[in-house]
């Protein structure tokens, strides 16, 4: 169902935002290794969110 995909996308967007904030905090403190780790996690969540958004869009289009 498209709604489930939208919910999954939203969850990954929220997780990406949290990871971005954590990355910024670590970079600000000079802990660049930990900052990069969180930035990579944010990227993964963003990519997964994008995939779920595309799937939701496809399912919405097929239900018309």
The string of DSSP letters for 19-62 reads HHHHHHHHHHTT-HHHHHHHHHHHHHHHHHHHHHHHHHHHHHHH
pLDDT digits (tens, 9 = 90+) for 4-61: 988 999 999 999 999 999 999 999 999 999 999 999 999 999 999 999 999 988 888 8
Angstrom distances, CA of residue 18 to CA of 14, 26, 59, 63: 6, 12, 28, 33
Residue 1's pLDDT is 67
């Amino acid at each position: 169902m498209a709604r489930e995909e939208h919910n999954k996308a939203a969850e990954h967007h929220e997780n990406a935002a949290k990871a971005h904030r954590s990355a910024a905090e670590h970079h600000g403190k000079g802990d660049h290794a930990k900052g990069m780790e969180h930035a990579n996690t944010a990227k993964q969540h963003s990519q997964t969110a994008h995939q779920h958004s595309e799937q939701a869009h496809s399912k919405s289009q097929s239900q018309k």
